[in-house]
Amino acid sequence: MCFAIPAQIVEIIPGALPMARFGEGVRPERCCLAYVPQARVGDYVLVQRGFAVEVLDAQAAAESLEAFAQLGG
């Protein structure tokens, strides 16, 4: 089973496959935005296996981050 990790985009690196960079402490530190080309700096995305798979609203991101914190992740 794979988990998707919520992360906030701090930079978008343009290219044939646009990449996003995240803030401190998020692993992986970068991911591909091919599946969510509408994502912008400041958005929260779910990252799975090196790809952003969904753009989250701030409330959904906060709930996911809280659940990870409760699990100790």
Overall domain count for the chain:
1
What is the secondary structure of 13-49 as a DSSP string?
E-SSS-EEEE-TT-SSSEEE-TT-TT--TT-EEEEET
pTM for this entry:
0.82
Convert the pLDDT of each residue in 16-69 to its tens digit.
Answer: 999 999 876 666 689 999 999 999 999 999 999 999 999 999 898 888 888 878
Q: Measuring CA to CA, which residue among 39, 29, 35 is closest to residue 5?
A: 29
**Which residue range(s) make up the domain with 67?**
5-35+44-71
Distance CA 52, CA 42 (A): 14
Tell me the C-alpha distance between 7 and 13, whole Å: 16
CATH of the domain at 17: 2.30.30
Which pLDDT value is given to residue 1?
59
